[in-house]
Structure 1
Amino acid sequence: MASTRLTLAPLLLIAAVLLSTKTTAQPAAPAPGPAGPINISQILEKGGQFNTFIHLLNITQVGSQVNIQVNSSTEGMTMFAPTDNAFQNLKPGTLNKLTADEQVKLILYHISPKYYSMDDLLSVSNPVRTQASGRDNGVYGLNFTGQPNQINISTGYVETRISNTLRQQPPLAVYVVDMVLLPGEMFGEHKLSPIAPAPKSPSSGVSDDSNSTKKAAAPSDKSGSGEKKFGLGFGLGLVVLCMKFLF
């Protein structure tokens, strides 16, 4: 019995070595492949409250442009996505009054052609250019103020804050806003105070003064003519009276 155990021991040792070698030699699991291209509509759909914004991105074709640019740009992009409630809170007819070009510009105004983290927005130089900006810096720009827990956005017409973050990973940041960012360049005239009456021009003032002078002088002319008529009548009366005494 003892000899049998001695004979099996080397065999068991050899089997254990073979098993360990086989386990070690197994190929490692394949590394995960590169992530697919960024699709802004898919990111917004996961948020679940951006149906109107997605619709506008599609009909204006801005969504396709964003997907192309963000997947090829070295600067990245930053998007400020208004919720469905934000669009519902607009005055009735606000979007319908816009031309097709103005709708495109409005959507482009919600996108900056550069990636900004939340910390970046606190230290950025205002105004921040958007996709709607022209050649001159500051046209259709956004202004950011606040502190780490609250970042405010001002368009020159409306002011709101970033309420949530959908994505904050280069090359794309997507922040949630509770108001549609209406650019002051497009809507600013509606918030102006009533225009005060324009001052009268010098020429009109002169004519008014001359007219008033003429009107004021008119009564004096009438009184003068009355006095002349009264004096003439009184003189004739005296002449007639004297002739009666003489004859």
Structure 2
Amino acid sequence: MASHTVLPLLLLLPFLYAAVADDAAPGPSPPGGELNLTSILESGGQYSTLLRLLQATQITEQLTSQLKNSYDGLTFFAPNDNAFTKLKIGTLNGLTDQQKIQLLLYHVLPRYYSVTTFQTASNPLPTEASGPGGMYSVNVTTTTTSHLVNMSTGVVDVPISSTLSAKFPLAVYSVDDVLLPEQLFGTSHKGKASAPAPAGQAGAAAGKASARKKGGVPKSDVAAVPVAAGEEAGDSENTAAGRGSAGWTTIAAFALIMAVVNLVGA
């Protein structure tokens, strides 16, 4: 009697082991094509200055690497060419290479934000830029009627002018002014840049490590997936569900093995 029961149970074991292995495996990285910030900016047609800076500082390589190893995604604010012409003459040339990296990383938020989820975010929002005083941050204000999102740095106030791409895990928004961190430029009148702070005061940027510093936005403050993109939200929910189910599948497999052992012993 016991032998007739044991055989079907033994046949089920390989399937249970396969299920446990699938559940324990890490989720797939997002497709590389969706992470190409350079292609998104090139398609926009008015970001040549920004593209040159990104290439010179190799920031795009860093962001691509982060996206492949993060489930939170990234948000990038892209100043157009006209935005750079508004800067005082010599502003960019007055920056050290390290300060240029800090300036670019100040345009990166270490989470994916749709226009809708900006409304639930808690100020200040941390950026990827940092210095001796800690992580650089921005403040965001929104309106429920027009869905206008305005960024305030303490030096300039600028709204998002258009959406270049908003598909998780990467959102890219166009802005008509360069976001100037107060830590580098000090306080000034809106829309105008003061002379950059000396390199000694600005300190070394910790761009690659900034996403791991304390002070990040709590997960309860903003959704990591866009509200308007149903299929993207579904993917993230399935990933989370897969992680949680591994424990239950393992327990079920263990219980079945014990049952087989007991039947064989009987």
Question: TM-score normalised to the size of structure 1?
Answer: 0.60
Tell me which of 142, 161, 164 is aligned to 1:163.
Answer: 161
Which residue does the alignment assign to 1:180? Answer: 178
Structure 1 position 90 matched with structure 2 position 52: no
CA deviation digits over 1:113-147, x for unaligned, max 9? 1111111112211110111035977x410100021
Structure 1 position 103 matched with structure 2 position 127: no
Structure 1 position 146 matched with structure 2 position 142: yes
Matches within 5 A, 1:1-247: 35-37=31-33, 38-133=35-130, 139-148=135-144, 149=146, 150-190=148-188
Q: What is the alpha-carbon distance in structure 1 between the residues aligned to residue 122 and residue 59 of structure 2?
A: 26
User: Structure 1: which 5+ residue stretches go unaligned?
Assistant: 1-33, 192-247
User: Structure 2: which 5+ residue stretches go unaligned?
Assistant: 1-29, 190-266
Larger Rg: 1
SS of residue matched to 1:94? coil
SS of residue matched to 2:178? coil
Percent sequence identity over matched residues? Answer: 47
Q: Name the structure, 1 or 2, with higher relative contact order (CA <8 Å, separation 6+).
A: 2
SS of residue matched to 1:87? helix
**Cα RMSD between the aligned structures?**
1.8
SS of residue matched to 2:123? coil
State the number of aligned residues: 157
CA deviation digits over 1:27-64, x for unaligned, max 9? xxxxxxx9544211011101111111111111011111
Give 4+ residue runs of structure 1 displaced > 6 Å after superposition.
none
Q: What is the alpha-carbon distance in structure 2 between the residues aligned to residue 95 and residue 62 of structure 1?
A: 16
